[in-house]
Structure 1
Amino acid sequence: MDLLDWHRGRLSSRRLAVLVQHMPRDSALVRELSGEAADWGVTDYLLAHVVDQLQDANWMFATVNADEDSDPLDHPEPVHRPGQPHEPDQTAGNTPEHSLPSPEELQRFFA
């Protein structure tokens, strides 16, 4: 398909918009706009979520069955997903996924 056909009047603006909206994930435009997220589909995100849940379950099992005198186990890191920073945010001492609300925040929420 020649995109100059749009300038020549042989390709409608609507048809051009449909072609651009439905470009394949491996096209140069989608890769430029989405970055590494273009490589991830729904299956990849679901699989990463399953891995995270399995890591959490194994961590809980190991924590519950650990000796009382042993050091607590570190919580597992979630699988990196496109668009997320590689390093967790340590500004508050907790990663955002594991920070707990304060009693005041809970009271405001349930009030």
Structure 2
Amino acid sequence: MLRYYGVDLLDLHRGTLSARRVLVLIRHLPRDSALVRALHGEEADWGAVEHLLAAVVDHLAIGNWLFTSAHGDSEPPRPEPVPRPGDAREEETAATPSPRELAAFFGGL
């Protein structure tokens, strides 16, 4: 709080700072503050600009892949999207059961 607003939290104890004011200041802390990083981790580094840039890169990669697929002799591998913080794609892929595991779970259907 002192770094961004010049407000000493001891003022809350001294009675010169209200709890409501502290809450408002906390809610508007910038992304690079220690509290926001502790609460959101890697996601704090990504704002709207970073997400839009990642989308542009993904779309350009798909466009290039489509062009080379249509005009080349062999089909290149599909490009992987730019990893985003909090993206659970790797977790979903690792947790996908095999057909044998599914059959065993459903009783050999």
TM range (shorter): 0.7 to 0.9
Q: TM-score, normalised by structure 1?
A: 0.71
Question: Size of the alignment, in residue pairs?
Answer: 90
Name the structure with the higher helix share.
2
Q: Does 1:73 align with 2:79?
A: no
Match of 1:25, as an amino acid?
R
**Residue number in structure 2 paired with 1:103:** none
**Residue number in structure 2 paired with 1:40:** 46
**Residue number in structure 1 paired with 2:4:** none
User: What does residue range 1-111 of structure 1 map to in structure 2 within 5 Å?
Assistant: 1-67=7-73, 70=74, 72-85=75-88, 87=90, 89=93, 91=96
1:22 and 1:7 mapped to 2: Cα distance?
21
- Identity across aligned pairs (percent)? 56
Match of 2:82, as an amino acid?
V
Aligned-residue Cα RMSD (Å) equals 2.0
Q: Secondary structure in 2 aligned to 1:87?
A: helix
Match of 1:22, as an amino acid?
H
**Residue number in structure 2 paired with 1:99:** none
Q: TM-score, normalised by structure 2?
A: 0.72
1:55 and 1:26 mapped to 2: Cα distance?
30
- 1:22-67 Cα deviation digits (max 9, x unpaired): 1111111011011111112211110000000000001111111122
Instruction: Could you tell me which runs of 5 or more consecutive residues in structure 2 were left unpaired when the two chains were aligned.
Output: 1-6, 99-109
Q: Runs in 1 of length 4+ with deviation above 4 angstroms?
A: none
